[in-house]
């Protein structure tokens, strides 16, 4: 499966194309729109997402009667805040002062440009709209195999919740009632206060997000080749999200502080001897992945999001034309987009695990994949 996104932040459309997606999968456009609405939500979002853009997808190819044909799926989301056009001249002024922590300066140097607008239009996190569209389609495919993906906010700036969910159902239930996808109502209030304070000061905040994937079968990924390891794929795809600066699997960096005798997940024989649970763990410090392969336990991923790069009280910078010191430009932006980042992370995780799933069980038709999936567990039962 391949995914191509296209479009600029203030262009006419954001576009997502899925190639190699299986035939026979029911895809509901309204479910994709629900995911896009989740991406736009959360305390700390700027004016564009809170009041201008009302993202709605239009699926223009690859389906008939809501069912995939096996041909490329093309999806369009129209931007309301359109300022640049492919075939007509705009009147936007040249931007010559790069914003620290954004792609502005590095992009100018790479492409030998002098107008930062030509960089920021594509480097913008607005591109992730296309990823949420693709991720939602993958989630709907994974639902056929009982797989669920959910995220929650662990921290905003230095305010952290220590509550650990029992299962993914608890995450989904609690997050629906939260303005920040946080499972801790008391801590959420403090997080919101921190966002409001940063907003008044023209500052921005990041945080930490967890993504859980439930129902993943054992055997996804591979240790045979470094680029086929499941954890490597997750790390790559999640790090591709703008503002993500760190990814952990399971205990992650906490492993470095513990001894192997207390950190590794001991293996036990299941009393039920079900195909996907012949062997069980009483802990899940590995985050559901060992040796680059899924174990059948819940996959747990953690992401560190840096503060939004654009500040309403900007940092020092330099005019690339005059070489004189100037303040970075003030561009309409979010104060904190931790909720949106979690939804995008869910989508990227869905894409990553769908690719590994199709590698394992085939990719032509849903019926064939279901048969291969069923036979895989029959063989496990026979062997173990």
In this prediction, residue 50 carries a pLDDT of 62
Mean pLDDT in residue range 213-229? 96
Q: Dump pLDDT digits (tens) for 173-206.
A: 999 899 999 999 999 999 999 999 999 999 999 9
Q: 10 Å Cβ neighbour count for 238?
A: 22
In this prediction, residue 330 carries a pLDDT of 82
Residue 55: domain span: 2-383
The residue with tokens 């979690």 is: 342
Q: Is 359 helix (H, G, I), strand (E, B) or coil?
A: helix
Count: domains in the chain: 1
Q: Dump pLDDT digits (tens) for 227-272.
A: 999 999 999 999 999 999 999 999 999 999 999 999 999 999 877 6
Q: Dump pLDDT digits (tens) for 7-17.
A: 999 999 999 99
Tell me, what CATH number does 12's domain have? 3.60.150.10
Residue 274 — pLDDT band, cuts 50, 70, 90? low
Lowest mean pLDDT among 113-122, 249-258, 332-341: 332-341
Q: Which of 153, 149, 129, 168 is nearest to 43 (CA)?
A: 153
Mean pLDDT in residue range 267-293? 85
Order across the sheet with 2-6: list the strands.
2-6, 13-19, 73-78, 57-61
Q: Which of 171, 181, 341 is nearest to 245 (CA)?
A: 341
In this prediction, residue 276 carries a pLDDT of 59
In this prediction, residue 206 carries a pLDDT of 97
Whole-structure pTM value: 0.95
How do 2-6 and 159-160 pair as beta strands?
unpaired
């Amino acid at each position: 499966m391949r995914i191509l996104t296209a479009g600029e932040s203030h262009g006419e459309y954001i576009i997502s194309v899925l190639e190699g997606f299986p035939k026979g999968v029911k895809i509901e456009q309204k479910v994709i729109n629900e995911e896009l609405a989740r991406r736009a939500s959360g305390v700390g979002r700027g004016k564009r997402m809170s009041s201008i853009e009302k993202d709605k997808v239009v699926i223009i190819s690859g389906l008939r009667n809501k069912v995939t044909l096996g041909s490329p799926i093309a999806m369009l989301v129209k931007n309301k805040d359109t300022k640049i056009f492919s075939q007509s001249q705009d009147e936007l002024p040249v931007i010559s002062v790069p914003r620290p922590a954004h792609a502005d300066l590095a992009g100018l140097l790479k492409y030998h440009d002098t107008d930062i607008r030509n960089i920021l239009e594509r480097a913008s996190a607005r591109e992730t709209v296309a990823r949420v569209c693709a991720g939602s389609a993958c989630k709907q495919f994974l639902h056929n195999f009982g797989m669920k993906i959910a995220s929650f906010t662990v921290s905003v700036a230095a305010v952290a919740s220590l509550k650990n969910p029992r299962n993914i159902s608890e995450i989904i239930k609690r997050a629906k009632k939260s303005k920040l996808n946080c499972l801790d109502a008391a801590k959420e209030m403090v997080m919101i206060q921190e966002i409001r304070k940063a907003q008044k000061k023209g500052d921005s905040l990041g945080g930490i997000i967890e993504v859980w994937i439930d129902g993943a079968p054992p055997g996804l990924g591979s240790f045979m080749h470094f680029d086929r390891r499941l954890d490597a794929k997750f790390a790559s795809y999640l790090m591709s999200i703008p503002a993500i600066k760190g990814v952990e699997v399971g205990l992650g960096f906490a492993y470095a502080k513990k001894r192997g005798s207390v950190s590794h997940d001991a293996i036990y024989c299941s009393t039920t001897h079900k195909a996907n649970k012949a062997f069980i763990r009483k802990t899940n410090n590995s985050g559901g992945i060992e040796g680059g392969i899924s174990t059948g336990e819940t996959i747990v991923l953690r992401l560190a999001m840096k503060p939004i790069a654009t500040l309403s009280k900007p940092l020092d910078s330099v005019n690339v034309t005059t070489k004189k010191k100037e303040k970075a430009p003030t561009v309409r932006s979010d104060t904190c987009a931790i909720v949106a980042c979690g939804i995008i992370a869910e989508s990227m995780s869905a894409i990553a695990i769908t690719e590994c799933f199709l590698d394992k069980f085939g990719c032509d038709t849903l019926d064939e994949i279901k048969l291969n999936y069923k036979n895989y567990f029959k063989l496990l039962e026979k062997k173990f």
